[in-house]
Amino acid sequence: MDLKIAVLPGDGIGPEISEQGVAVMNAVCEKFGHKVSYQYALCGADAIDKVGDPFPEETFKICMDADAVLFSAVGDPKFDNDPTAKVRPEQGLLAMRKKLGLFANIRPVETFDCLIHKSPLKDELVRGADFICIRELTGGMYFGEKYQDDEKAYDTNAYTRPEIERILKVAYEYAMRRRKHLTVVDKANVLASSRLWRQVAKEMAPKYPEVETDYMFVDNAAMRMIQDPRFFDVMVTENTFGDILTDEGSCITGSMGLLPSASTGEHTPVFEPIHGSWPQAKGLNIANPLAQILSVAMLFEYFNLKEEGALIRKAVNASLDANVRTPEIQVEGGERYGTTEVGQWIVDYIKKA
């Protein structure tokens, strides 16, 4: 297969992990005989500094022209600490989601046995937890009508029926391929937008008779996730709830540096780690490249290249078993590997496989 990849390294540790993602992509393509080409593009604080726009038109064109986007991270403290800043790196991410029509954000919450001791939850609660959060990504409060003056401010949580239907369809399709259990998370006891979500879900559920659908209020879901994370298989929810719940999800597994995600929708899909740009670690060769590398696995799987994805996952597991790990997940007394060393080890494993 011919693959045209837009690479958006972004800020902080972004460029370092991006390099490892590309190296792994190259190794896999070589092994399986795929032809891959890359177009690099600016985004985030880096793009603001260079061209004054966190998601420049040129970057948008490169993304639209590609088969997939390999995204790393955006964000820089110089903007976080300046509330008057008019342009912010995060706006680049939101612009990318909106312009590429990326309405479905797929965030798997997976545990790695060898990292369970890093979880804030008890081993017996979290071991084996494995669910996917499908977060609606281009609607709700993030993009609804906003107003702000010194006395009053609001964000509108607007959803239309087609927006809800298309994300529920994605969620049902995932549930059909997994354990056939879908939890629709909302706040239908208070919010009108949630009541429409629930109404549409109730209408759609009979079309998927094999899937057990349940409905849960978001506050209850937040609690259930720490009390009994294995309850969940596929969870679907609106933009803001999904933002909050996926941070919770990524930390209960103890492996937040390892979780990839995919955003899909109308145009080119984007694959990226769940973690942020960790500016303090920039240039230190200590950032964990595994979430980025696993997003490359998700990229292959998106194109139904299952063996390619599986080989990457196998290589990542082997690196963990061999204790080839970056400092934050290294076992006590274990040797410390850098970003590039972990990436290289995985590349070598793939070449030898």
Q: Which residues are catalytic?
A: 142, 187, 219, 243, 247
Nearer to Mn ion, 212 or 243 (CB): 243
Angstrom distance (rounded) from CA 273 to CA 245: 16
Kindly write out the interface string for residues 25-64 of this chain, putting x where it contacts ligand IPM by CB under 6 A and - elsewhere.
Answer: ----------------------------------------
- The arrangement of strands across the sheet holding 104-110 comes to 35-40, 2-10, 68-73, 270-273, 260-264, 104-110, 130-136, 234-237, 181-186, 212-217
Closest approach, Cβ 75 to ligand IPM, in A, equals 7
**What three-state secondary structure class fits 216?**
strand
User: Which residues 6+ apart lie within 8 Å of 169 measured at CB?
Assistant: 204
Closer to Mn ion by Cβ: residue 213 or 255: 255
Give the residue among 305, 313, 314, 339 at the shortest CA–CA distance from 325.
339
Long-range contacts of 278-282 (CB under 8 A, 24+ apart): 278/12, 278/13, 278/73, 279/11, 279/12, 279/13, 279/75, 279/76, 279/77, 281/12, 281/13, 282/12, 282/13, 282/16
Residue 93: name its binding partner from ligand IPM, Mn ion, none (Cβ under 5 to 8 Å by kind): ligand IPM
Q: Residue 204 binds which one of ligand IPM, Mn ion, none, with CB within 5 to 8 A depending on kind?
A: none
Q: In this structure, are strands 146-148 and 130-136 parallel, antiparallel, or unpaired?
A: unpaired
Q: Which does 287 bind (CB under 5 to 8 A by kind): ligand IPM, Mn ion, none?
A: none
Considering the rule CB under 5 A, would residue 90 count as an interface residue with Mn ion? no
User: What residue number has its CB nearest to ligand IPM?
Assistant: 90
Q: Which two tokens stand for residue 4?
A: 């045209």
Cα(237)–Cα(221) distance, integer angstroms = 11
Minimum CB separation from Mn ion for residue 243, in Å?
A: 4
Given CA atoms 161, 171, 246, 292 in this order, what sign does their dihedral have?
negative
Window 235 to 274, contacts with Mn ion (CB under 5 A):
243
Contact partner, 90, from Mn ion, ligand IPM, none, Cβ < 5-8 Å per class: ligand IPM
CA angle 101–105–110, rounded 5-degree value: 165
Ramachandran angles phi, psi of 38, nearest 5°: -125, 145
The footprint of ligand IPM on residues 88-147 (CB under 6 A) is 90, 93
Give 11: exposed, middle or buried? Use CB within 10 Å, 0-12, 13-18, 19+. Answer: buried
Q: Tokens 């391929």 sit at which residue?
A: 177
- Residue number with CB closer to ligand IPM (173 or 243): 243
Which one of Mn ion, ligand IPM, none is in contact with 155 (Cβ closer than 5 to 8 A by kind)? none
Q: Which is nearer to ligand IPM, 204 or 270 (CB)?
A: 270
Q: How far is the CB of 142 from ligand IPM (least distance, A)?
A: 7
The only residue of 30, 67, 155, 243 in contact with ligand IPM, by rule CB under 6 A? 243
By C-beta, is 130 or 243 nearer to Mn ion? 243
Q: Are 64 and 13 in contact (CB under 8 A)?
A: no
Quick check: 135 and 243 in contact, CB under 8 A?
A: yes
Of 107 and 187, the one with the shorter C-beta distance to Mn ion is: 107
Binding site for ligand IPM (CB under 6 A): 90, 93, 243
By CB under 5 A, name the binding residues for Mn ion. Answer: 243
